[in-house]
Structure 1
């Protein structure tokens, strides 16, 4: 995968912020779809909505963490961030964006390189 340039990273952050805002709006308006008639673990629509809002807040925290770190390190072109932590933070953004691949504003350059073979824990005896 080629590394997106700085403008693409800025667009990625803006894209994610917009998707989270859309999700929050749909949850608050009650227009989100659960995809199933049976709600998980005995949740009603209100409690499921709260869980979904909590997830949106967590996504906002990941995005905010990236922006704060870039600002603290004087990084204006996010693609220039170096080091393990920067790469991990950048990966979190691309993973978050990956759940929106079908959105018309999604840029395939953001596609995360996810492992396809994940080792399983050994079975407990």
Structure 2
């Protein structure tokens, strides 16, 4: 989010016609980068689940998608909302909310 706040054109580039329609080779590069990021997130989430820091009843792949969707969503809201809020602050606030929802509850069995 810091990179987006410092380079506000990034969301426009990521959702540009060239990237989405006109340039399959460039789209494949971005798809591979996103896939690599997802893979690293899934591995980190698995470790957190194994250590008991995150619920285990939600698949690590789903958690990774939720987290990347959070970043994408807040970036789109910021862009469409004329940058009317502090992007990094709001993103971190929502990340904290998401992580709280994913933490195991005391005394709960989450398989």
Pairwise TM-score range, normalised by the shorter structure: 0.3 to 0.5
Larger Rg: 1
Give the structure, 1 or 2, with the largest relative contact order (CA under 8 Å, sep 6 or more). Answer: 1
Bigger fraction of residues in helix = 2
Q: TM-score, normalised by structure 1?
A: 0.32
Q: TM-score, normalised by structure 2?
A: 0.35
